[in-house]
Structure 1
Amino acid sequence: MSQSFPPIQPGGSLMVAWQVRDKHVLVVGGGEVAAGRILHALNADAKVTVVCPSACLNPEVKYRISENHVAYIDRKFEPVDLDDDVAMVFVAIDDPEASSQIWKLCRERRIPANIADVPSECDFYFGSVHRDGPLQVMVSTNGNGPKLASIVRKEIAAALPANTGAAIQNVGILRRKLRETAPGPKDGPKRMKWISRLCESWSSEELVEMDEKDMETLLGFYTQDIIPAFEQVQLKEGNIAPFDGSMGWSC
Structure 2
Amino acid sequence: MTSIQPGGSLIIAWQLKYKHVLVVGGGDVAAGRLQSVLATDATVSLIAPRDRLHPTVVALIKQFPQRVSYRDRAFKDADLDDASLVLTCIDDIDTSRRIVELCRARRVPVNAADIPNLCDFYFGSQIRQGPLQIMISTNGNGPKLANIIRRRIEATLPPHAGKAIENVGLLRAKLRQRAPGTGGELSKARMSWMSQVCESWSLDELALMDERIMERLLADGWELAADKKRVEASTTKPQLMA
TM-score of the superposed pair, with normalisation by structure 2 = 0.92
Counterpart of 2:222 in structure 1 is 222
Partner of 1:89: 86
Match of 1:146 among 143, 154, 160: 143
Paired residue type of 2:132: L
- Opposite residue 54 of structure 1, the aligned amino acid is R
One-letter amino acid matched to 1:201: S
Aligned-residue identity in percent: 52
Alignment RMSD, CA only?
A: 1.1
> When you count helix as a share of all residues, which structure comes out higher?
2
What CA distance in whole angstroms lies between the structure 1 residues aligned with 2:158 and 2:74? 46
Partner of residue 115, structure 1 = 112
Deviation at 1:80, TM superposition (A): 0.4
Could you tell me how far 1:178 is from its partner in structure 2?
A: 0.6
8 Å CA contact 1:129, 1:139 repeated in 2: yes
**For residue 76 of structure 1, what is the aligned residue in structure 2?**
74
Structure 1 residue 110, shift from structure 2 partner? 0.3
Q: Distance in 2 between matches of 1:78 and 1:201?
A: 56
Amino acid aligned to 1:66:
K
For 1:164-179, what aligned pairs fall within 5 Å after superposition?
Answer: 164-179=161-176
Which structure 2 residues correspond to residues 189-204 of structure 1 after superposition, within 5 A? 189-204=188-203
Q: 2:31 aligns with which of 18, 32, 35?
A: 35
Give CA deviations for 1:159-205 in whole Å, capped at 9, x if unaligned. Answer: 11121111111111111101101112232222122111111100111
**Structure 2 residue identity aligned to 1:72:** Y
Task: Find the aligned partners of 1:46 and 1:120 in 2 and give their Cα distance.
Answer: 26
Kept in 2: contact 1:202–1:229 (CA 8 A): no
Work out which of the two has the higher radius of gyration on C-alpha atoms and give 1 or 2: 1
Q: Shift of the alpha carbon at 1:53?
A: 0.6
Distance in 2, Cα, partners of 1:218 & 1:212? 10
Unpaired runs of 5+ residues, structure 1, are 236-251
Q: Which residue of 1 aligns with 2:204?
A: 205
* Aligned mates of 2:218, 2:197 — CA distance in 1: 11
Q: What amino acid maps onto 1:22 in structure 2?
A: Y
The residue number in structure 2 matching 1:53 is 49
> Which runs of 4 or more aligned residues in structure 1 lie more than 2 Å from their structure 2 counterparts after TM superposition?
none
- Secondary structure (helix, strand or coil) at the match of 1:222 reads helix
Higher mean C-alpha displacement, 190-199 vs 206-215: 190-199
| Partner amino acid, structure 2, of 1:64 | L
The aligned length equals 230
Q: 2:22 maps to which residue?
A: 26
